[in-house]
Amino acid sequence: MSNGLGDKIKGGVNKAKGEIKDQVGNATDNASLQAEGKADKVKGEVQQKAGEVKDKF
């Protein structure tokens, strides 16, 4: 597995995890869980972009 692919997979996992936390936080009015979920989604986006850049080189 190339480094880029690994980063893209990790990014996808973090985005999915973040989405779940965000939705559960929203459903339970838990603002800190929502914020954590949003942060995980951003982290996942960055990891996926890094993987795409690595794949180009």
pLDDT recorded at residue 2: 60
Say if residue 1's pLDDT is above 70.
Answer: no
Angle between helices 31-56 and 3-27 (to 10 degrees): 160
Distance set, CA 18 to CA 1, 11, 48, 53 (Å): 24, 10, 14, 22
Specify whether the CB–CB gap between 23 and 55 falls below 8 A: no
pLDDT tens track for 5-43: 999 999 999 999 999 999 999 999 999 999 999 999 999
Q: By residue range, what is the domain housing residue 48?
A: 3-56
Specify whether the CB–CB gap between 8 and 50 falls below 8 A: no
pTM (predicted TM-score): 0.84
pLDDT recorded at residue 50: 94
Distance set, CA 39 to CA 25, 43, 56, 57 (Å): 13, 6, 26, 28
Say if residue 45's pLDDT is above 70.
Answer: yes
How many domains would you assign to the chain?
1
